[in-house]
Chains A and B, each alone.
Chain A
């Protein structure tokens, strides 16, 4: 951190993404960064949890034990969120919404485990936004005819006068950008805030930052996860029903 940040000589403020090793990929210089490592750790933990859950559910009992109870609760809550937002189209999207919900929320709260949250890197959230964008438009082309899409694209004006088309196109392209930037900026602001507190205050920041962790990591992370999933589901429902 150069002298750009603050004049307090704080050298131990660190919230940037660091490169770990670089290699050449068809002539391009490609870096393996800390984000890759954090995503890998998050993925491994989630995979381990999934395998354990699968083993547990394979020998499920009528009266659930502790772990089976937790799994059933999680799955029922996630399915309930999808049910509430998508109505009778919900069963087709339990998998997708549940997966991104679990991944994003675990990424967001991984700041508590000492990782740099992977969602505080724009590469990760842009990928999530683009996946949602693909799902939205796959459903749009599947459930609406080309004529309906054209009429929607020229929406406030009649379809033979496509003056409004470029503006509607821009608003379509803005969907993944705003989805990903919202998540990215929220998590990044929490990360930067915690790094500033720990870096600038030194020994003063001993126990009370736990309250800030509860806000920035748990509360803000959970809210943003919920918002990402809710917006994705709203856009998918719109795409399926016509606007």
Chain B
């Protein structure tokens, strides 16, 4: 057995048993962050806080929500919204956070793409981040089923139908996923379980992996500078805080992080209290009806771009294009053949690639919201083709990139 001495303080008592000083150093005060970064580096913490808001508001919703097809709609729209004191607050926090979390995820992702933060030992950060995106997408979709309104039902119908694989006609698989011929009680029950237990567990695990993958390569910086973290940390600890290129994660970097979080939360609660409508589709305030399709079925804004890639093609090609769009971002560290881990504006053609990609995704998002008619259908088609072509071109343009 290890040797224990009489504790001199509570801290010492804990230190002997849990090594809290060591843990504090590893996780916070001697976890080094470069100094040359900007507010975009705070998005990770903004995401952590938003996830916490989702968990807390979700816990309160879970106490009153009833996962049956008869009662789900009324437990949300009557019990939670009208009977439970402040029930509206939890619902609006949950709905707005579910939408805003994707905005922050996209900013976080495109920051990574712009600064090349998926290269040179940071591949696993990128891959675990993309897995988190997939898990959050599944979490968003399963949560969207739960109020059991018209959009819940029909989004459930359309998305589960994707698994029939077009001409493969894997109807058995679709029925297996649903547990019925159409979305019904078995479907609601299992998506409820996925939403409140299995996917959140996966998300927690992936967050652990994401942070773990960050530990050795450290975060990137805005100048693409290769920093010797051991050397700079020694300099810092020796007292040359101004000369060192790094600072402590806590409390130094955290203080700035939380400043950004504070500004974000003001914006967030402005939305929750005064402008929550965008996260509450009016169609979903009609109870689910399997015999009546709403006039327009469209996903939430954060899925529109991939939906628009599915839409302009015939079913099989559409599904292939859709599957391509879903997985292609994961492969970015290997499709980008250039060794330059520097901001996009110093990478020639890649800078154009980046901005065209960003603008094109916004165009696809806008077209996905509009009805698929005339002009919009054609713009959507061209944008979808452009998206695919851009990814096919990426290895070529980066292969010929000059080393900076």
Chain A complexes with chain B: no
